[in-house]
Amino acid sequence: MTVVQAYRYLGSSGLGEAGLALQTSGGPAANPRFFTGFLTTPQAAAAGLLAVAEVARTRYFQPVRAASLDPVVTAGSDRLRFESFSGCCGVYARLDALPDGLDGEIVAHGTTNVDVNDPLRASLARISGLDPLRLSVGPDDLTVSTMDATIVEKKVPLPPRWLRGFAEVQVLSAGFEQRGVATADFLRRLPKGVLWAIPAGRGLRLTSRPVPGAICVPDGSRLAALRGMLRFARSLKVYGPPVTTGSGPLPSTWELDTGVLRLSLTLSPEPYRGFSGEGAALTALSGDEVVDDAELISALLSWDPAIDVAGLAASAGLTAERVLGALAQLGTAGRVGYDVHEGAYFHRVMPYDAGRAERDNPRLIGARALVSSGLVKLDEDGRAATVGDHRVRVAESSCSCPWYAKHRGQRGPCKHVLAVQLELRP
């Protein structure tokens, strides 16, 4: 068997005045592996990795053949994170391997995105008992070693739709709070369709209508990826936004915690709604004043597992509100995510420039075109505006257009409301 080993050199060797300068393939600082070591609970970790991969290969709405299998892997200061979106972009999965779940040192920080092919899935599925699970994460690949195989998954292009998905999820989940604790039996019995759940005793019970304190269950069949890790979990926590009696379908996060691993699935409000079209990040994207703040905060970000908003505000000389606005803006480029368990943002780096999400968003592009064409006419009292052929009420952020009539603000503002917001900015 022939084994080929490739080395990447940092420059050319040469002979200078100081003598012979030989270049090497670098060391931990110059050409790093982010992490090399073992996962301390290999069976549970394998189940979690398979869950993230399962979400990436599944279309929950209008199922077709397996979609992309491209989890994003981030090495932070003390943990590894594995993230993916479903093929329909309506389910976001994340596995956090916490410090006690890692037997090895994170020597560098960074993000990569790799394919998860069938050989790796099969190898992970065979882990049992005390079988070891070793990972090596680098900027260009993920190497997984088990008792029967060593598999190298190379870096692949990230689906462009995921950028908008990452942007929307972090904005939406930043408004979540823990709403209850579910049981494994509750999860196994969830039917299809949008339902609601309310705390009852030590768990949750289903109800057909939204009430204050409830959590939306937007089609329980989309939580199937959690089941493989249920037997390892200590708790199943549920997070979501505030609910009122008139609430429509809402997103929610379902999190399994083993003590050293956390696997979470965040569901879009309805199966047919992908996160990439939710529009929650449009307001952050449209702001002009936050761009400079985002550049400053970006320079100050570290790879801490939870971003300290108060510390950033003190370092940058900004208010906490401006820091939060800057983090929302950075989230639109995939630079930060939000952890509902920690109640805090975390740092990652995506292979996109900060303007990509804005350029790919048709509503924001349309709103800027309306403003630049002078089609936004504010009433004298400032309470309403005419935008082309439509009327916008400023305080209610409502519009006479078909988009607003269909969605009633549940999927972010229409381009006419956005145009008025842009026009009103100082």
295 vs 11, higher pLDDT: 295
Provide the residue range defining the domain that includes 286: 282-357
Q: Where are the alpha helices (DSSP H) in 98-193?
A: 118-125, 160-173, 184-188
353 and 392 together in one domain: no
Asked whether residue 341 falls in the same domain as residue 405, the answer is no
Residue 419 included in any domain: yes
Could you give the count of Cα atoms lying within 13 Å of 98 in the half-sphere of its Cβ?
13
The answer to whether residue 267 is domain-embedded is no
In the chain, the amino acid numbered 423 is: E
Query: Could you tell me if residue 404 is inside a domain?
Result: yes
**Residue in the block written with tokens 């079209």:** 277
Q: Is residue 124 part of a domain?
A: no
CB 49 within 8 A of CB 95: yes
pLDDT band at 359 (very low <50, low <70, confident <90, very high): low
Residue 141 burial by Cβ neighbours in a 10 Å radius (0-12, 13-18, 19+): middle
pLDDT, tens only, 202-225: 899 999 899 999 999 988 889 999
Residue 316 is assigned to a structural domain of this protein: yes
Domain count, the chain: 2
Q: How far is CA 63 from CA 57, 60, 207, 251, 271, in A?
A: 10, 6, 28, 20, 11
**Model confidence at 65, in pLDDT bands (50, 70, 90)?**
low
pLDDT at 248: 87
pLDDT tens, position by position, 154-188: 888 777 778 778 888 988 898 899 999 999 889 88
- What average pLDDT does this structure show over 384-403? 91
Cβ neighbours for 213, distance < 8 A, ≥ 6 positions apart: 179, 198, 199, 243
Average pLDDT estimate for 372-376: 91
Let me know whether 332 and 375 are in one domain: no
Q: What is the CATH number of the domain that holds 337?
A: 1.10.10.10
Please provide the average confidence, as pLDDT, over all residues in the chain. 84
Establish if 369 belongs to a structural domain. yes
- Model pTM score: 0.82
Lowest mean pLDDT among 40-49, 232-241, 269-278: 269-278
CA–CA separation, 337 vs 94, rounded Å? 11
Same domain, 351 and 366: no
- Please give the residue that has the higher pLDDT: either 238 or 409: 238
Last residue of a domain, one of 309, 328, 357: 357
Residue 307 lies in a domain: yes
HEC readout, 38-106: EECCHHHHHHHHHHHHHHHCCCCCCCCCCCCCCCEEEECCCCEEEEEECCCCCEEEEEEECHHHEEEEE
Q: Which of 301, 333, 357 is the last residue of a domain?
A: 357
Q: Backbone phi, then psi, for 424, in 5-degree steps?
A: -85, -10
Instruction: Kindly give, in sequence order, each residue whose CB lies less than 8 Å from that of residue 334, ignoring residues fewer than 6 positions away.
Output: 163, 166, 167, 348, 349, 350, 352
Query: pLDDT-based confidence at 1, cuts 50/70/90?
Result: very low
Long-range pairs of 45-49 with CB within 8 A, sequence gap ≥ 24:
45/95, 45/97, 45/101, 45/133, 45/261, 46/124, 46/125, 46/127, 46/133, 47/228, 47/229, 47/232, 48/82, 48/95, 48/97, 48/229, 48/261, 48/263, 49/82, 49/95, 49/116, 49/124
Distance of alpha carbon 410 from the chain centroid: 20
Tens-digit pLDDT profile for residues 228-246: 999 999 999 999 999 999 8
Mean pLDDT computed over 104-115: 87
Indicate if 332 and 373 belong to the same structural domain. no
- Determine, yes or no, domain membership for 115: no
Tokens of 43: 């069976």
Both 290 and 349 in one domain: the answer is yes
Domain end marker among 357, 387, 407: 357
Return the pLDDT at 150: 92
Question: In which region does residue 289 sit, left (phi positive, over 0), alpha (psi from -120 to 50) or beta (all else)?
Answer: alpha
> What does each C-alpha distance from 213 to 187, 193, 268 come to in angstroms?
19, 20, 19
Closest CA to 330 of 365, 290, 362, 389: 290
CA nearest to 54, candidates 157, 125, 3, 126: 125
Question: What percentage of the chain carries pLDDT values higher than 70?
Answer: 86
d(CA 222, CA 132): 30
Whether 300 and 342 share a structural domain = yes
pLDDT of 198 strictly over 80: yes
